[in-house]
Structure 1
């Protein structure tokens, strides 16, 4: 057939174009499917697996105290919720009011998920004032989840003449603390601003050692969280063996309705802001965490395991049996709380540093 004017030429091969396009689309679909399957296989191969491994929970205080009890309770249950069901053990590393263990995690511990810790409640404060060293930043750690809140208190033994803050204004009262913990800081503030005479004796390895010193009347008072008090010494409050002088909280706990919260004390200015900061840290509580630099997928595996563990009836029953009060929070929320604490305004940080400038 002759070509018509103005009409394009038609190639004989044009008739095969639809078939060719179908072949191209089919090849693309196959390539996408292969890529997806390879990606899935790679992801599965790289998923954290702790089969045959041992996970160590490092505790910055001595055996028998509140942090130690929490760690051993977690050790009995966390492994069954981790891939490969590893063995989980506890290692005590007391020193520096819990800081020795935190520094170990940041500087020495492997970053593969085989070493974790229960962090001390004042951990963010220690970072704010530079007591952890230049290379340890609390906001850089991986937080797995909060086990419980932490309401710090000052307990005075029943034989001490000091029953209230007013009593401590007229006589010296020796109190035991593990280091620069929250109760230690509050004691320094009330000594300076209210004229109390608490003599702070620090360096105890944990609450068990302090309780022993208290019962032997080597000291008149001690730093103790309300949660640990209920768990470790359930008879102390009901039987009147101790008097609680203050609670580091924004509101009064139901168990201590007649004990003032530190935010109620007649203190103003930067010290009042510092007391509010200390009270807010109670919500950070006792978090379980990992060293900085652990791979995100490993942290997520531990967060998922933690979330499953705290819903496990066996874990809950074990915690209740040991007198522990569960008040859990996901790891992401703990990380946000720590980050907020690390963004404390400079004047409040300066007030804290000035308060502790003479502290050992």
Structure 2
């Protein structure tokens, strides 16, 4: 081999590992079909993660729907390897199912390591054709409203319990595949009331509200920097659930229902979306991902873009993510017992 050819071949061989690393693929398992709030969140995060990780691997979403998000979590728990090439993005339904002992749960959070977490919010809205402008008007009417749900023992438990506490008569159709389907059902006239998490609302419902097709009535609220339940910063003009409760009942919420609702809100919304790697992934590999999310959260451009798509909530990384996980996966035994009993009485559902 001539000298020039040898140098060219050597250069190619040295460059090959760099190219191979740059072409690496990281799979991100998403527990719902395309188009819903969780999918919107994951797609936004995946693009930023690809740009932020060393060597910029391609981050591909793998939508594994079914079982109120449990199918995806079961799949990840069984299939993810120690190489750190598969992430799981959970949602509030994944947490609720695990805490309430859903029989479909085969996964264990103890098998995973948290990478990052995102709080979120939710908005309850109705079609404009209903002719109401506030939740108080809706309650005063006393009519039965139809609500499409992916499952009572899912994130839907938070708005459903809130509606009961407000005195709204709701007939619930269980078994929808996604919140996307519930929104489509409301637009088609099959349902009279719906809620969407912030990404789903901003992406799909806000344009309908601007066009006068739907009317937002209240947000579920958000935890402020002092740890108090306050108005959602993504929807500052909307009253929060506790505000609406006081308006309708003339007192603060209290009792077992309120204690359960607060616990479920913490589980489902205070750190609604979380990102995990398997426990067996080595610490240096885990740290690469945790550092990437920390850099994302500190980037002003990321925060500005995220506020438009996901809402103005902080991206939690490092010790903040650890604390968010600990809080989300903690439920008092008495609260769990009350909640399971309520599901059995209200929906004849045994988790």
Fold shared by both chains (TM-score > 0.5): yes
Distance in 2 between residues matched to 1:236 and 1:142, nearest whole Å: 39
Aligned to 1:218: 190
Give the deviation of 1:185 after TM superposition. Answer: 4.0
Give the deviation of 1:348 after TM superposition. Answer: 0.7
Structure 1 window deviating more from structure 2 (129-138 vs 94-103): it is 129-138
Aligned to 1:359: 349
**TM-score normalised per structure 1:** 0.74
Give CA-to-partner distance per residue, 1:229-285, whole Å, 9 cap, x none. 123333344455223245154212252445242487354322211111133342213
| SS at 2:216 equivalent | strand
RMSD, aligned CA: 3.0
Q: Are the aligned partners of 2:150 and 2:176 in contact in 1 as well (CA < 8 Å)?
A: yes
Give CA-to-partner distance per residue, 1:271-302, whole Å, 9 cap, x none. 21111113334221322222343322222111
- The question of 1:279 aligning with 2:269 is answered no
Which residue of 44, 59, 63 corresponds with 1:73? 44
Q: Are the aligned partners of 2:116 and 2:316 in contact in 1 as well (CA < 8 Å)?
A: yes
| SS at 1:62 equivalent | coil
Aligned to 2:109: 138
- The question of 1:296 aligning with 2:269 is answered no
Cα 1:347/1:129, change in 2 over 3 Å: same
Which residue of 317, 321, 327 corresponds with 1:340? 327
Cα 1:268/1:320, change in 2 over 3 Å: closer
Distance in 2 between residues matched to 1:343 and 1:210, nearest whole Å: 29
Which residue of 138, 155, 170 corresponds with 2:125? 155
Cα 1:340/1:110, change in 2 over 3 Å: same
Q: Are the aligned partners of 1:248 and 1:278 in contact in 2 as well (CA < 8 Å)?
A: no
Distance in 1 between residues matched to 2:203 and 2:339, nearest whole Å: 31
Give the deviation of 1:72 after TM superposition. Answer: 1.6
Give the deviation of 1:228 after TM superposition. Answer: 3.0
| SS at 2:320 equivalent | helix
- The question of 1:244 aligning with 2:234 is answered no
Distance in 1 between residues matched to 2:315 and 2:126, nearest whole Å: 29
Give CA-to-partner distance per residue, 1:81-108, whole Å, 9 cap, x none. 3233322111111112222212211222
Distance in 2 between residues matched to 1:204 and 1:134, nearest whole Å: 18
Cα 1:342/1:138, change in 2 over 3 Å: same
Aligned pairs (5 A) from 1:74-153: 74-131=45-102, 135-146=106-117, 148-153=118-123
Q: Which 5+ residue runs of structure 1 have no aligned equivalent?
A: 1-48
Which residue of 271, 294, 314 corresponds with 1:307? 294
| SS at 1:223 equivalent | strand
Q: Which 5+ residue runs of structure 2 have no aligned equivalent?
A: 1-19, 223-228, 246-251
Which residue of 135, 159, 168 corresponds with 1:164? 135
Give the deviation of 1:125 after TM superposition. Answer: 2.3
Distance in 1 between residues matched to 2:119 and 2:39, nearest whole Å: 16
Give CA-to-partner distance per residue, 1:7-50, whole Å, 9 cap, x none. xxxxxxxxxxxxxxxxxxxxxxxxxxxxxxxxxxxxxxxxxx95
Aligned to 1:187: 160
Q: Are the aligned partners of 1:177 and 1:210 in contact in 2 as well (CA < 8 Å)?
A: yes
Cα 1:119/1:268, change in 2 over 3 Å: same
Task: Find the structure with the greater CA-based Rg.
Answer: 1
Q: Are the aligned partners of 1:152 and 1:247 in contact in 2 as well (CA < 8 Å)?
A: yes
Aligned to 2:232: 253
Question: As a proportion of its length, which structure holds more helix?
Answer: 2
Cα 1:246/1:79, change in 2 over 3 Å: closer
| SS at 1:233 equivalent | helix
